[in-house]
Structures are given as structure tokens and as C-alpha cells.
Chain A
């Protein structure tokens, strides 16, 4: 994907520290994602990728440092306040509302919207159709396969039309055919002008989708730049291969 011309930082992470007891999960992370940019985050297991995402979402409170979305400081806000600021996300292991129908799952992020139920349901149905889940709309989410749950999460994330979306391992454990479909969806999201933070171990997909990539290791950003720069970066190669 070619680099886009952007100006304002859609996501700003400055000096972010997070410890879990004696374990340093994030060690002064500095990162910026520009508006309408796809920023890929790579790193080995335990590098701090998901912790970073959880700190941005407000699930974890950082020990030090700040997070801003669209220039607005989000530090100390609750997850639902951050969601209202226009941040949506998916999870490594899908966290759908298991005993709710697919339609109801999609309505959850827009419950406070000043729109009629009918309008919201129609939008939810259209989203499900786009994700090829429309026939299952009355089923409970727990009745879906793992891959379908990932698609449902993606649709749920998009329902409130967030400005920033964060995808945590969207391709993990997904069938190749479904994986291709998800890549198309992410490309469509990016084409729609949203800022995307994409965490994945699937480097091929990351390199295909990202405008820029940041590599994390032991809670630090060890490299940041274009796909080509990251691909040939010796620090990244060493972190991945232990060479």
C-alpha cells in the first residue's frame, strides 16, 4: 500500500510505561499514527503489542506517559469514554457477546446514539451483509465459528463509525480464504479514511496492508519506518530470529 499524505497525529503515544509487578511490559513507548494511515505493529510474543493496545483503549492504566487521539489527551479516561472519542477495536481471541444475537451484538456500540432503533437495525443488517453473516443474524454469537466471530467483531467495531480502529491479530487462527476476505475488509476500512493500528504475527499481511510499521521488542520500539525499511532492519531481524 502506498504511503498517504497526512498531517495530524490520529494516535499519539508518548513515553508510555507499564509494569506488571516485576515485568516491564512497556518501557517508554513513543509512537504516532497519522490520520488515514495503517500502522502495523510487529514483535515477538511478549513484546508488548497487546499491552500497548490495552493502554490506548484505557483497559490498562499506564504507569507513566500519555495517549492522545486526534490531538485530545485520553490519559486517565475510562474505556467507554475513549470509545466515545472514536476508538474501536477487535481482540486477539474474539470477545463477542456470546448470548446475544448478531444484530444485538452490533447494536451495543451505538446504544447511546440519538437514532431510531429501526435505523440502527438497518445499518447493523447492512454491516452483517457486508461481512457475509446476514443469514445468521438471529443466532447467538456463541453459535458462530471462530473466524465468523472475528468478522462479527469487525462489524461491531465499525458500527459506530470510529475514527481510529485497532485490530489485534485479526488473522490468527483464520482459514486462508477468510483471511483474504479480512484483508479486503481492512483495505476498505483504510480506504474509508480511518486510522488503523494493526497488530499481527502474519508479516506478509502486515507488509501488504501497512503504510508504516513499528517493531516492538521487550516493551520498546526498536524500529519504525516504511515496510522496506523495517524488512531490512538488522534490529528487527535479530529480535525475530535471535541472530
Chain B
């Protein structure tokens, strides 16, 4: 069958132009965001707010790999975060690692935990979600029951005099940029396409030659790496780690809400979602400190009801031609 067409040349030029716009937009937005965050400590803006803004952008974006790209709903996502936080804390406090040397081990711990959880990837839907939640509970129990001299028991671990808010802020920024770069790459890569195909129909993808087990595992490990790093950096930033906060289910809930608010399956969705919802949370907290959770809850319900695909997801559904420029 001959597949040569006269329209191939204009389409190639159109593709090249779309590619140029895409990367120009990514560079401009990435540059502006980086400069903004770099200037936060310099301009003495609210450091804690911006630190957590970056943390939530990273968490929501990494969650997007597990959920938006791979089709899983890991309700126990906090397990990676908690294990990452404790890894850094134990290495720094008990084994006297420099913090910056300890942080990569948090990421490795997340990946290791991801490998241990990998057999659950054969599950799907609500079954996977429940098992994931149970495994996070198990992680929390295991760490709680480890000897007090290792994990600090119910009091947790204090990192002593190692707190460096500004440096940890910049490290968080690096983690965020690394996560966003990875996810941007993933969205255009062959692995990303395979993941999305598996998400949409694993059996059909298998019959199209996609190694479903391997592809799911790669996606899962990417999704496990970044929350563990976030946990490590946050432990450094706050200088204290305990099981109550490190394995708090609210961490998963916020991650899910922020990612869904922006739009799962898009790169920009979780960024916009985290940005919007963290700002909204801050605003509500400032204006209505007593009922902030109630208002935030109502806002989330309304968002899901009226924009079930999230802010970016809805936009791209209404403007399909923008999908080439907005990942």
C-alpha cells in the first residue's frame, strides 16, 4: 500500500512549528517560575508558604504519573513520603550523614518501597486503592514499632542544629524542577505513550506489543521516587519527623485533590491545581481561620462537580487544538 501523500510537507512544517511553540512556552514558563522561586528568600517573601507550594506541586505532579498516566489511585501514596522523611532523618540523626548526602537515599528508599509494592500493580481500581491504603498503614506501624533509638518512637526524630530553611528551600526547588522536567520528558516519551495506552486499555496495549508489566513498573517507580524525596527535604526543612505527621492520610488527600483540581493526565494540570488550591487554602485560612477546612471542602466538591476533568483538563477538552502546545 502506498502511503505517500502530497500533504506530508505542510504537516511536517506544522509539526515543527507546534514543537517550537511548545518548547518556547515551556522554557518561558519554567524560566519565570524558577526566577520567581529563586527570588522568594531574596525578597523575604513568605518562605514557608512557597516551600509548601513547591512541595505540593511536586507531590501532585508525581501522583499524576501514578494516576493520570498509569491509571492507578494509590490512596496510600503518603507511604513513600513518610519513608523518605524517616530515611533522611535516621541517616542524619543516627548515622551522622550530611543532609545533602542523605537526601538521595530517601529517593532510593521510595523506589525500594515501590518495588516491594510492585506485586499490587496487578490489581486495579478500588482494589488497588484499598490495598495501597493498607500498605501505607503497615509502613506506619512498622516504623512506629521499630526500636525507639532508631526512629525516636512516638516523639519522632529531631535533626538537631541542621535546620537551614533557605538552603532546604532551594533544594526543594531543585526537586520540583527535576520532577517537572522528568514528567515533561515522560509526557513526550515513548514510555509516556505506552503508560497512557496501558491506562486506557491494558489488554489492548498488550496486544499492540506493549510490555504492560514493565511499563507499569517504570511509571510506578517514577511516582514513588519524588514523594520520598519530598519527605526527606521536608524533614530537613521542619527539622523534625514523627509517624503521626509523616504518614498522615491528609497528605495523600491533599495530593489527590490538587492533582484532580488541575486535571489528571496532563503535565500542567497538577501544577495549576496545586498552585490554585494552595493559594485558595492560604486565603481561606487567613480570612476564615475557624471554618477554613469546611470552605476548602465545599470548594473542592464544587470543583469536582462542575469541572470533573480539572481546570486544565476541561480547557483542553474544549480546545483540542491547544493540546499540542499545553502538555
A interface residues (Cβ-Cβ under 8 A, vs B): 57-59, 78-80, 82-84, 89, 91, 95-101, 104-105, 107-109, 111-112, 117-118, 121-123, 125-127, 129-130, 134, 138-140, 143, 156, 160, 188-189, 192
B255-282 CB mask vs A (1 if < 8 Å, else 0) is 0000000000100000000000000000
Q: A80-B212, A108-B205, A111-B193 are in contact. Are A126 and B8 (CB under 8 A)?
A: yes
For the complex, give the distance between the alpha carbons of A130 and B3 in Å: 7
Q: For A139, list chain B residues within 8 Å (CB).
A: 320
Contact of A83 among B1, B193, B194, B208 (CB under 8 A): B208
Secondary structure at the B interface, as helix, strand, loop or mixed, is helix
Find chain A residues with CB under 8 A from B197 CB. Answer: 97, 100, 104-105, 108
**Contact indicator B8/A108 (Cβ below 8 Å):** no
B11 at the interface (CB under 8 A from A): yes
Please report the C-alpha to C-alpha distance between residue A32 and residue B194 in the assembled complex, in whole angstroms: 33
Given contacts A99-B196, A108-B194, contact A83 B209 (CB under 8 A): yes
Q: Report A-chain residues with C-beta under 8 Å of the C-beta of B208.
A: 80, 83, 108-109, 156
Nearest-CB residue, chain A, relative to B191: A111
The distance from the CB of A82 to the nearest CB of chain B, in whole angstroms, is 8
**Minimum distance in angstroms from B326 CB to a CB of chain A:** 12
Report yes or no: A111 in contact with B11, Cβ–Cβ below 8 A: no
The 9 closest A-B pairs by CB, nearest first: A126-B3, A83-B209, A97-B200, A95-B204, A79-B206, A109-B208, A111-B190, A108-B197, A79-B207
Partner of B1, one of A84, A111, A188: A188
* 12 A-B contacts (beta carbon < 8 Å): A57-B207, A59-B203, A82-B207, A97-B197, A97-B200, A100-B196, A108-B208, A111-B193, A111-B209, A117-B190, A125-B11, A130-B1
Residues of A within 8 A of B20 (CB): none
**A80 and B207: CB pair below 8 A?**
yes
Is A59 touching B5 in the complex (CB atoms < 8 A)?
no
Q: What residues of chain B lie closer than 8 Å to A104, measured between beta carbons?
A: 193, 196-197
Write out the residue numbers on chain A whose beta carbons fall within 8 Å of the beta carbon of B3: 123, 126-127, 129-130
Within the complex, the shortest CB–CB distance from A166 to chain B, in Å, comes to 10
Q: CB-CB < 8 A to B265: which residues of A?
A: 99
A140 touches B320 (CB 8 A): yes
Q: How far is the CA of A226 from the CA of B212 in the complex (A)?
A: 40
A138 to B201, CA, bound (A): 19
Give the residue of A99, A100, A121 whose beta carbon is less than 8 angstroms from that of B15.
Answer: A121
Give the distance in Å from the alpha carbon of A134 to the alpha carbon of B213 in the complex.
Answer: 32
Name the residue of chain A whose CB is nearest to the CB of B203.
A59
CB-defined interface of B1-33 with A at 8 Å, one 1/0 digit per residue? Answer: 101110110011001000000000000000000
Q: In the complex, are the beta carbons of A138 and B321 less than 8 A apart? A: yes
Which chain A positions have C-beta within 8 A of B210?
Answer: 80, 108, 111
Give the residue of A126, A160, A188 whose beta carbon is less than 8 angstroms from that of B209: A160
- Verify B1–A80 contact, CB threshold 8 A: no
B182 within 8 A of A: no
CA distance A79 to B205 in the complex (A): 9
* Across-interface contacts of A83 in B (CB, < 8 A): 206-209
- CB-CB contacts below 8 Å: B193-229 with A: 193-194, 196-197, 199-201, 203-212
CA distance A78 to B205 in the complex (A): 12
Q: Establish whether residues A97 and B204, one from each chain, have CB atoms under 8 Å apart when the complex forms.
A: yes
Query: Nearest-CB distance from A141 to chain B (Å)?
Result: 8
Name A138's contact: one of B8, B194, B324 (CB within 8 Å): B324
Query: Is B323 an interface residue, CB under 8 A from the partner?
Result: yes
Q: How far is the CA of A126 from the CA of B197 in the complex (A)?
A: 21
Contact present for A97 and B205 (CB under 8 Å)? yes
B320: chain A residues within 8 A (beta carbon): 138-140, 143
